[in-house]
Amino acid sequence: MSPSAHKIWRLIWNVLLAQAACLLVSNVALAQRLSTELSARQVEVGETFVVQLTALVDDDSAQPQNPALKLPPGIVATGPNLSTQQQVSIVNGHLSRSYGVTATWSVTPTKAGRYPIGPASILIQGRRLSDDPQSIEVVAAGTARQQPQRGPRGLPFGFDPFDPFGSGPLSNRLRGLPTPDPDAEEPTLDPSSVPEEWRVARAPDPAAFLIAKVSPHKVVVGQALSLKVFAYTSYPGFDDVSASDVTRKDFLAFDLATKEQSVIRRVPIGNQLFNAAQIRDLLLVPLAPGRFKVGEMTMKLALISRRGQEVVERQSVPAEIEVVEPPKKGRPPGYRLGDVGHFQLKVEVAPREVPVGGAVSVTAWLEGQGNFPSELRLPEQKGVEFSQPTIKEEIAPKDGALTGYRKFSYVVRLNEAGELDLGALSHPYFNPSAGYETANAPLGVVKAVAAVARPGTPEPASPEAAPPAPLQRIADLMKPRADMSGQSAIRGTGAPSDRRWFYPLLLLGPALVILGQFMGKLGSLVSTRQSARKGTLAYQARAALEEARELAKNSSMSAVSALERVVFMALEDRTGLKARAVLRGELAAKLISQGFPSELALRAVELLEQGDTVRFGKLEAELQQLVADTGEWMERALEVRRSAS
Amino acid sequence: MANLSRSSQSQAGLMSRRWLRCLLGLALALNTIFVGPKLALASGDKATDLASAGLQALRASAPSRALEQFELAGDRGLIDPNLSYNRALAYLLRAKSPQAVPGDLGQVAAGLEEALLLNPDDVESEQVLDAVRAELARVRAKPQGEAVSARPSLGRALVGLAPRAVWDWLAVSASLLLSAGLLGRALLKRAELLLASGLGIGIGLGLLALAAPLSFAAGWLNERTEPAVVITAEAHWLDAVGVPARALPASAHGAGIPEGALVYIHQKAGNLAEVEWGATLGWVSAGQLRGLRQR
């Protein structure tokens, strides 16, 4: 090789080396954007842990897809659950965006030992890229040592406070969501330390989920119930991106916005710790009986970890509520459906003495808990007229019920003189824990004194002078009816078509007549055919054979004559030859000449001669045999095709 | 021997126990037959007592108390046209008192419709109902300009031409006429009788084709739809999920059904009811309707 050629080869070699180096660097760059995380390094047999593969690509690249996780025998996985994420960073004034996919597998080992997990791989820009494999130690059940807590809050995945997207508290504050309290007590794995309503037996999703909880599940119309929606995530932080309204159709809803909503709790579920927040706390009041589903809610959550945030959408499963009417037994007069709770009624009446036609003020306070009514039950008596009440109230949700008071102010006009007991205001209601109750408040006695007419004062207009109002005119048309025994309704209104057989019966008459006609026609047709059949020689031959059998039973020699008829009729039926008129010696030849089988023709002659022998010899024993032989011959003869003649 | 006597004693005991059981069963059966209806009557009496108390309150010009008693009597199973009529009167008296509640006139219409349903010959209820509907239309005409009554659908109008029993008996007569015609045609020989049979067949067939479907339709409407009256100022048309309908049902004249209007409930779903008002079929809130009791 000449020196110049050697130089050229070295140049080519260097270029190739440089290209390979560039390719390696680019692959490394891609590989660096893959990361695999395990939620634990040591687990027990049967204990589920989570494997997460995160792949990030630049804004202008295709989205990573088709993640895969290689697992050794003895380890089973479910998933992956996919979620997308977006990361924005500003470096030296330049904005760069990355998109990515996080694939989450729930992995459960079935045997003890040390196992490689992965490599997890994913398709990026048409190339499958793999991350480094991880390992997990699986120990026998009950022998795992306490997991060293990783990250500042001991969460399964690390938490980097310097990561711009890992700053959950800041993010939560920005979103107005509850913020984890850094001074809060460290979480404990003891589920009993968590309030009952926050506990969950099994996590339906290893990353995040919503749960709607209702209490109680069975209520009466008007009885308040609590609906709470909780969000759980195994990530260090989370944020709400958007949320739909909670379904609660057919209920009056009051947002309680309790303190609990500003708290994030650590809730152990299985062997995992979750961050949980109460995102809705509502008081619902059912308006009608029935079975209802409430609490369905869709929420987009931004799950925050040190790798950034990923947005996932989760939906809560609705809870079923049964709303029933309170019992009819013991229901007091004036009870209205929905009046539920526990109340006290207080009244004030002032003044106690007014001139006739004047008015007193009645103020009633209905205090308690429950579904407050819009009106009270008023006493009714002649000469006393209650106005529509003015209502003021101070009612707010408290201790899982609407609590407070409603004030009803009435103006009561007294139209007749004298001392009047105004009766009592009342409110019948249903108390779920005690049954029907009535809040009562007697109004006491009020005196209406006759006013002394001053001279010059015009007389008040008589009510009779004014034209009656339209409703009065209608009322004048009606008089109360005394008979309400339940007997005055018109009886026997049940229509004939209420019976099941009505419509079939409508068609039965015509159908029977048509069927009768059809059957009649069918009968006559059968009868005609029958008589036509009776006229045939074959029929007559068979009839003669039956006759011969009967006669032979009594050893009557007349049977032989009947058998002769059988032979002659069968021959005539098949050949048209009147055999009786032919000499017996010529009979066989004639039959054969007409195409009748020779064997049967000869046998016919033989049977006729045997008949003569039996008849004249009175051979009773042979008679039976002759009957049988003739019958057999007849059947064969009648199977022969008729000759053309 | 002792065993034998013990065995005969035990058999005798067994027999007497069987007799005792038979007697007990018989006594229970007789009790059910004779005393049961009396017990049922006793519970019915309680409802009539409530109705009587309501009547007293009505006569004492205490309509609210009266209608409470009437409503309770109805809840306890008392069905009577006069109870419905008196309830309507109590609502009417309350409607013209200062304690009037919106929807009272709708309740009056419901009571009178119910009374008419239970006793179609009640002319007085019919007249008062017309007056109440006229008053509702007058009140409503001011802001809305709509009538309370709506023209029924063609099918209901056809079926409503005669009571259901009339269609039934007409169908039965048509069936008999058709049968007789067919029989005559088969049996009779004289030309004039054959002609009469042919006419019988034609008329019977035509009548059957008319009356049987109408009888069936009347039965279907009676069984599958429930009459009700609107008891709020207006029952707004909703869509099937319960929010105000963006597109009103076909042939709807306004945004809702006026108070006092007679509608037919086709189905209920939760708090919603699908109703037929005139020729319009749509959803409204079930709480705005009062179903009419029928025997």
Q: In the structure, what pLDDT confidence band is assigned to residue B281 with cuts at 50, 70 and 90?
A: confident
Upper half-sphere CA count for residue A589 (Cβ side, 13 Å): 5
Record: contact A475-B99, CB cut-off 8 A: no
| Contact in structure between B231 and B290 (CB atoms under 8 Å) | yes
CA dist A188 → A159, A168, A595, B45 (Å) = 18, 21, 115, 66
| Contact in structure between A102 and A53 (CB atoms under 8 Å) | yes
Cα angle A591-A592-A593, degrees, rounded to a multiple of 5: 90
| pTM summary value | 0.50
What residues are paired with A77 via a beta bridge?
Answer: A107
Residue A80: its H or E element: strand A75-91
Distance from CA of B91 to the nearest CA of A (A): 10
- The residue with greater pLDDT, B176 or A175, is B176
| Contact in structure between A101 and A84 (CB atoms under 8 Å) | yes
- Within 10 angstroms of residue B255's Cβ, the number of other Cβ atoms is 14
Record: contact B135-A516, CB cut-off 8 A: no
Question: Where are the extended beta strands (E) located within A388-444?
Answer: 390-398, 401-414, 418-421, 424-431, 435-442
The whole-angstrom separation of Cα A563 and Cα A569 is: 10
Q: Write out residues in chain A with pLDDT < 70, as ranges.
A: 1-8, 11-12, 14-32, 59-62, 84-99, 141-192, 257-262, 451-468, 488-494, 643-645
Q: Taking the alpha carbons of A154, A157, A162, A165 in that order, is the dihedral positive or negative?
A: negative
Nearest chain B residue to A376 by CA distance is: B99
- Which pLDDT belongs to residue A93? 40
Kindly state the tokens that stand for B229.
């009256």
SS3 of A245-295: CCCCCCEEEEECCCHHHHCEEEEEECCEEEEEEEEEEEEEEECCCEEEEEC
- Which pLDDT belongs to residue B75? 85
| Residues contacting B284, CB < 8 A, separation 6+ | B230, B235, B236, B237, B238, B256, B257, B263, B272, B273, B275
By the 10 Å C-beta count (0-12 exposed, 13-18 middle, 19+ buried), A108 is classed as: middle
Upper half-sphere CA count for residue B156 (Cβ side, 13 Å): 17
Nearest residue to A563 via CA among A618, A603, A611, A614:
A611
Record: contact A503-B128, CB cut-off 8 A: no
- Which pLDDT belongs to residue A532? 77
| Contact in structure between A232 and A211 (CB atoms under 8 Å) | yes
Measured in degrees and rounded to the nearest 5, phi and psi for residue B29 equal -60, -45
CA dist B106 → A1, B138, B179, B227 (Å) = 114, 14, 50, 14
Interface of B with A in 137-176 (CB under 8 A): 138, 164-165, 167-169, 171-172, 175-176
Dihedral of the alpha carbons of A40, A42, A46, A51, in degrees to the nearest 10: 30
- Which pLDDT belongs to residue A91? 40
- Within 10 angstroms of residue B116's Cβ, the number of other Cβ atoms is 21
Nearest chain A residue to B184 by CA distance is: A513
Nearest chain B residue to A335 by CA distance is: B68
- Which pLDDT belongs to residue A566? 93
pLDDT tens per residue across span A395-437: 887 777 888 999 898 888 888 888 888 889 999 999 988 899 9
- The residue with greater pLDDT, B123 or A42, is B123
Number of H helices, E strands in chain A: 9, 31
- Which pLDDT belongs to residue A597? 92
- Within 10 angstroms of residue A644's Cβ, the number of other Cβ atoms is 8
pLDDT tens per residue across span A14-61: 656 655 554 444 444 444 478 888 877 787 777 778 888 888 777 566
Q: What residues of A are in contact with residue B165 (Cβ under 8 Å)?
A: 493, 495-496
How many Cβ contacts (< 8 angstroms) between chains A and B?
178
pLDDT tens per residue across span B57-94: 988 888 888 988 898 888 888 889 999 999 999 999 99
Record: contact B89-A475, CB cut-off 8 A: yes
Based on C-alpha coordinates, what's the Rg of chain B?
Answer: 29
- Within 10 angstroms of residue A548's Cβ, the number of other Cβ atoms is 25
Interface of A with B in 464-493 (CB under 8 A): 469-475, 477-478, 480-491, 493
| Contact in structure between A49 and A38 (CB atoms under 8 Å) | yes
pLDDT mean over B270-288: 87
* B61 and chain A in contact, CB less than 8 A: yes
| Contact in structure between A400 and A213 (CB atoms under 8 Å) | no
The number of residues in chain A equals: 645
Record: contact B219-A497, CB cut-off 8 A: yes
The whole-angstrom separation of Cα A553 and Cα A559 is: 9
Nearest chain B residue to A331 by CA distance is: B72
CA dist B54 → A511, B49, B90 (Å) = 57, 9, 9
The whole-angstrom separation of Cα A147 and Cα A245 is: 40
ipTM: 0.72
The whole-angstrom separation of Cα A18 and Cα B178 is: 106
